[in-house]
Amino acid sequence: MSDSHPMADVAPEPGVRKPDPVLVANNLQRSFGGLQAVDIDHLEVQRHTVTSLIGPNGAGKTTLFNLLTGFDTPDFGEWHLNGGPLVGIAAFQVARRGMVRTFQLTRSLARLTVMDNMLVAAKDNKGEGLWGALTGGWHATEQANEDRATELLERFGLEHMANEFAGGLSGGQRKLLEMARALMMNPEVVMLDEPMAGVNPALTQSLLTHITGLRDAGKTVVFVEHDMDVVQEISDWVVVMAEGRVIAEGPPEAIAKNRAVIDAYLGEHHGEAAT
Amino acid sequence: MDWGSIFIDGILATIGPVTAAYAISAIGLNLQFGYAGLLNFGHVAFMLVGAYGMAITVDFGGPLWLGIIIGILVAMLLGFLLGLPTLRLRADYLAITTIAAAEAIRLVVRSSWAEPLTNGVFGIQGFADSFFSLNPFPPAELYGIGSLVVTGRKLWVMIVGWTIAALFVFVVHRLMKSPWGRVIKAIREDEDATTSLGKNVFAYKLQALMIGGAIGGVAGMILAIDQQNVTPDAYLPQITFILYVIVILGGAGTILGPIVGAVVFQFLFFTIDALMVNAQADIGWVGDLLTPAAAGQVKLVLVGLGMMVLMVFRPQGILGSREEALIDER
Ligand SMILES: Nc1ncnc2c1ncn2[C@@H]1O[C@H](COP(=O)(O)OP(=O)(O)O)[C@@H](O)[C@H]1O
Ligand SMILES: [Mg+2]
């Protein structure tokens, strides 16, 4: 990042305010039985960035995603998208408001074709209502959606699979499809839960290009990743979680040197590697 | 043994109004189970409330057309009431609720305190006179070729029944080829994924349950009209079981599966029936062994065996696609 970037002046400390946050969470808490899975005082995500969310297994990253996108309900707390409160908003509504998530375990719609996977994600098709379905008049929208889907599939290298069942794709191709499908909704914020997991190394680089491409296209990307090299390479900002809390945040270079992070997270791996 | 008459009896039962009613009911169940993945184990209840909604309306002096509308509305209301508390929960809640509700409804309908409305175990008769007054065929006349004949009365119910079946095939086809149908199939594959794409999964499931229920209600009405009779004990849980057999046999989630399933099932079922009746008469020891009650059981055992064979050799049903069946759900 260049020094003129708006994030250049943001201090690398947990809960720090950012110049133009698209997503803000306050005092967000979720426990399972006695286990405090998420306990966040304050967190902001800067618009038009790739923000990585890292932390050891069980740190609460997926739970945080679930809370923010309405797939789970917090015990306490509130959060906003573009200033609009999201407390009590159903998951499908959150998606329609422009914050779309993918899943850690890929969820392709197996017995739908790749093209249908894409089309089902398109917004505002009047044929999706019962009345519209029976009376017709949705074919023009459908054609426009198909064109857009084809473009996206081409970008993700899946166009030759358009008429195959999604269940027949490889694991990596399904990750790609899930990402392309999310983009069909024209989201403002894209939340990717471990998009690289299980993807073969040959595909990783193209996935990374897609992620930075999203930011360059004016979207905000929050993504969970384990590989520190990957995080260093593409993040504008890194948020580190451990035991439900945000223990550090900052630009990737600062995070790599952060003592608390090395202890809580990197220490494990680096320690293992050293012995 | 008279093979000719066995075959003819089988065919007559297969093309008759009962098969049409089963096919229609299966179209409704196929929408719910085959396409939307909803485990409705009380489909017979939709048939019951449809038939009773119609019969009671006429019994209280209303016209038949109003009874039909009320029957459809009551079936949709039942779908709404069953779906509202369960469809946000895991799939098995709907299964348990529907199976219990179906029996509860039948028991309430036959109870003595519902008698003022339903006439209890005796049911309601003679509500379809105005339907038969529209019959263009002389009711006692025989139509057909050779010994394959039906009365004009039967023919009228058959024509109406199969026409309605064709109409519902068309409607479901149109729905499932539309973006609405695509969302329904997506929900069957993965509810969370579909939610993440901004679809109101609950509303879609409720719609599928209600529409499928309304179609089941119409099927109940056709059965009732054919017999000019509704009694609670015609709506036993095994009807739902038979409907599942029909849907799976024909191919769940296929447009024509319910029709093919109903026709094949009824043909086999009634041919076996006629076969056993013949055997009882012709072969002494078979007659001694197969009392009428035992024959009924044996038929169901044969159906179960047939289903097992089908599941082994063609799990996708007659019309289902093998490719689709082979996709493992990950
Ligand atoms: N539905 C649940 N029920 C009980 N415990 C859960 C549930 N979901 C997550 N947890 C627990 O919450 C903690 C955080 O999990 P998760 O958010 O999946 O972590 P991460 O994605 O960072 O690996 C873990 O200890 C996990 O076992
Ligand atoms: Mg996780």
**Residues B196-236: pLDDT tens digits?**
999 999 999 999 999 999 999 999 999 999 999 999 999 99
Q: Is the Cβ of B293 closer than 8 Å to some Cβ of chain A?
A: no
Longest dimension (CA), chain B: 67
Are A84 and A183 contained in the same domain? yes
Residue A275 domain-assigned (yes or no): no
> Does ligand 1 come within 6 angstroms of the Cβ of A275?
no
End position of a domain, from candidates A149, A168, A187: A168
B30 in Cβ contact with B251 (< 8 Å)? no
Interface touch A95/B207, C-beta < 8 Å: no
- The pLDDT value recorded for residue A101 is 96
Residue A126 domain-assigned (yes or no): yes
How far apart CA B321 and CA B330 sit, in angstroms, is 19
Pick A168's closest partner by Cβ from B171, B183, B327.
Answer: B327
B146, two tokens: 């050779």
Are A124 and A153 contained in the same domain? yes
Residue A265 domain-assigned (yes or no): yes
Pick B179's closest partner by Cβ from A111, A125, A167.
Answer: A125
Q: Is the Cβ of B190 closer than 8 Å to some Cβ of chain A?
A: yes
Are A138 and A250 contained in the same domain? no
Residue A7 domain-assigned (yes or no): no
How far apart CA A100 and CA A97 sit, in angstroms, is 9
Amino acid, single-letter form, for residue B59: D
On the 0-12 / 13-18 / 19+ scale of CB atoms within 10 A, B13 is: middle
- The pLDDT value recorded for residue A62 is 95
Closest atom of ligand 1 relative to the A72 alpha carbon: 1
Residue A136 domain-assigned (yes or no): yes
Closest atom of ligand 1 relative to the A55 alpha carbon: 22
End position of a domain, from candidates A122, A139, A168: A168
Q: Is the Cβ of B282 closer than 8 Å to some Cβ of chain A?
A: no
**How many whole angstroms from its chain centre is CA B130?**
24
A123 in Cβ contact with A96 (< 8 Å)? yes
Are A31 and A157 contained in the same domain? no
B252 in Cβ contact with B34 (< 8 Å)? yes
Residue A128 domain-assigned (yes or no): yes
Number of domains in chain A: 2
Are A163 and A191 contained in the same domain? no
Find where tokens 């509202």 sit.
Answer: B84
- Return the domain boundaries, chain B: 3-325
- The pLDDT value recorded for residue B271 is 83
- The pLDDT value recorded for residue A275 is 35
A79: which strand partners?
Answer: A25
Among positive and negative, which fits the CA dihedral A93, A99, A103, A108? Answer: positive
Residues 81-120 in A contacting B (C-alpha not used; CB under 8 Å): 90-93, 95-96, 100-103, 106-112, 116, 119-120
- Give the tens place of pLDDT for each residue, B3-41: 788 888 889 889 999 999 999 999 999 999 999 999 999
Q: What is the mean pLDDT of residues B232-253?
A: 94
Are A260 and A182 contained in the same domain? yes
Residue A9 domain-assigned (yes or no): no
More confident residue, A175 or B293: A175
Closest atom of ligand 1 relative to the A65 alpha carbon: 17
Are A104 and A202 contained in the same domain? yes
Confidence of residue B273 (pLDDT cuts 50, 70, 90): confident
Q: Residue B239 pLDDT more than 50?
A: yes
* Ordered mean pLDDT values, 10 residues apiece, chain A (275 residues): 65 85 95 93 95 92 96 95 94 96 91 96 94 93 96 94 93 90 95 87 84 92 88 92 92 83 62 39
- The pLDDT value recorded for residue B2 is 76
Domain that holds residue A120: 112-168
Are A85 and A182 contained in the same domain? yes
Residue A13 domain-assigned (yes or no): no
- The pLDDT value recorded for residue A272 is 43
- The pLDDT value recorded for residue A257 is 81
Are A51 and A92 contained in the same domain? yes
Q: For position A216, which CATH number holds?
A: 3.40.50.300
> Does ligand 1 come within 6 angstroms of the Cβ of A117?
no
Residues of chain B neighbouring A167 (CB-CB closer than 8 A): 327-330
Confidence of residue B129 (pLDDT cuts 50, 70, 90): very high
Q: Is the Cβ of B196 closer than 8 Å to some Cβ of chain A?
A: yes
User: Which fold does the domain B3-325 belong to in CATH?
Assistant: ABC transporter involved in vitamin B12 uptake, BtuC (1.10.3470)
Are A195 and A247 contained in the same domain? yes
- The pLDDT value recorded for residue B62 is 95
